Structure 1
Amino acid sequence: MSYAIIGFGNIGKALARAFARKGIEVSVATTRDPKTFAADAAAIGPKVIAKTLAEAVKADIVFLAVRFESHPDVAKALSTWQGKTIVDVTNAYGVPPEDLGGQPSSKFLSKAFSGARLVKGFNHLGAAVLDQDPAVHGGRRVVFLASDDDAALEEIGALAEELGFSPIKLGGLSEGGLLVQARGKSWGRLIFKDLVKFG
């Protein structure tokens, strides 16, 4: 299984550090030349590899950690996303709901990535919290996941556990997914909730 993170801002770097802590190889990419951030990637860990966007999107599982408005630019990198799983880490805060046709932002975004299975996840924590080791006082930091694809939900849940997190599955994008999505100028009820699961 291969992994990539698209977007290398604070959230992208926090995700890269999660992979580095467990020694799991991950590609990182932006729309910029990878030479411009290769040193930053290498500083996180030897298995964090700076790549071009075209190279990174070949991964099986792609974490989308860009600004919500930038997702169409990433989607254009492939003509079809068949067989891939996208983890939507974006937050559409400030995007008017009417611009999304009244849909949850992840459902709207999924249309751009034709053929992909989409999981909303890893987006409810601020970068500074996501950046910390998820092992907390003998417990594990919670990440919320939502998807309309049960198999994809299981797959990303297993990966979250491998990265040291405790996944809580919220169900479909139009139900539980709304708890971790911004709508206009308001945040879902679980956004920024830093929870730790014990036992």
Structure 2
Amino acid sequence: MSYAIIGFGNIGRALAKAFARKGIEVSVATTRDPESFAADAAAIGPKIIAKTLAEAVKADIIFLAVRFEQHPEVAKALPTWQGKTIVDVTNAYGVSPEQLGGQPSSKVVGQAFSGARLVKGFNHLAAAALDQDPAVHGGRRVVFLASDDVAAADEIGALAERLGFAPIQLGGLSEGGLLVHARGKSWGHLIFKDLVKFE
């Protein structure tokens, strides 16, 4: 299984650190030349590999950590996303529900990445929290996951466990997923909830 993070802002870097902590190789890419951020990627860890967008999207599991408005541009990188799992880490804060056709933002993202299995996840934590080791206070930091594809959600849940987080499945995008979606100028009820699960 291969992994990539598209976007190398605060959230993309925090995700890269999560992979580095566990020694799991992950590609990182932006729309820029990878040489412009290769040193920053290498500074996070030896298994954080800066690549072009075209190279990074060859991965099996892709974390979409760009601004919501940028997702259509990323989606153009492949004619079909069949066989890929996209983890939608975007937040459509400030985008009106009308612009989204009244749908959750992840449904809009899913339509752009045609053929992909889509899981909403890792988007509810602020970068400063996501950046930290998820082992806290004798428990594990929670990540919420939502998807209309149960198998994909389980797959990302297993990856979240490998990364040290405690995944909590919220159900479909139009049900539990609304708890971690921004709508216009309001946040879902679970966004920014920094919770710890004790075994």
Give TM class, smaller chain.
over 0.9
In structure 2, the partner of 1:20 is: 20
Q: Secondary structure at the match of 1:13?
A: helix
Q: Name the SS of the counterpart of 2:107 in structure 1.
A: helix
Query: What percentage of residue pairs aligned between the two structures are identical?
Result: 87
Tell me what 1:183 maps to: 183
CA distance, structure 2, for counterparts of residue 16 and residue 111 of structure 1: 26
Deviation at residue 138 of structure 1 after TM alignment: 1.2
Aligned equivalents of 2:37, 2:126: Cα separation in 1? 22
Q: Residue by residue, what CA displacement relative to the aligned partner does 1:81-127 show, whole Å, maximum 9, x if unpaired?
A: 00000000000000011000000000011000000000000000000
The match for 1:109 is: 109
Q: Which runs of 5+ in 2 are unaligned?
A: none
Three-state SS of the structure 2 residue aligned to 1:140 is strand
1:142 is paired with a residue whose SS is strand
- The one-letter code of the counterpart of 1:134 is P
Match of 2:34 in 1: 34
Q: AA paired with 2:123?
A: N
What corresponds to 2:93 in structure 1? 93
Q: What are the residue-to-residue correspondences of 1:107-146 with 2, within 5 Å?
A: 107-146=107-146
Matched, 1:57 2:57: yes
Q: Distance in 2 between matches of 1:56 and 1:118?
A: 17
Distance in 2 (CA, whole Å) between partners of 1:152 and 1:65 is 18
Q: CA RMSD in A?
A: 0.3
Identify the residue that residue 80 of structure 2 maps to in structure 1. 80
TM-superposition CA deviations, 1:112-157 (whole Å, max 9, x none): 0000000000000000000000000210000000000000010000
Give the match for residue 47 of structure 2.
47
SS in 2 for 1:98: coil
Kindly provide the CA deviation profile for residues 11-56 of structure 1, in whole angstroms up to 9, marking residues without a partner as x.
0000000000000000000000000000000000000000000000
Aligned amino acid, residue 57 of structure 1? V
d(CA) in 2 for partners of 1:49 and 1:10?
17
Alpha-carbon distance between aligned partners in 2 of 1:109 and 1:197, rounded to the nearest angstrom: 29
Partner of 1:68: 68
Structure 1 runs, 4 residues or longer, greater than 2 Å off: none
Q: Distance in 2 between matches of 1:189 and 1:108?
A: 20
In 1: Cα distance, 2:186 partner to 2:20 partner:
33
Q: What letter corresponds to residue 196 of structure 1 in structure 2? A: V
Q: Which amino acid aligns with 1:105?
A: S
In structure 2, C-alpha distance between the alignment counterparts of 1:20 and 1:182, rounded to whole Å:
29
Task: Tell me what 1:159 maps to.
Answer: 159
TM-score, with length taken from structure 1? 1.00
Equivalent pairs counted in the alignment come to 199
Residue of structure 2 in register with 1:171 after alignment = 171
* Alpha-carbon separation, structure 1, partners of 2:108 and 2:81: 15
What are structure 1's unaligned runs of at least 5 residues? none
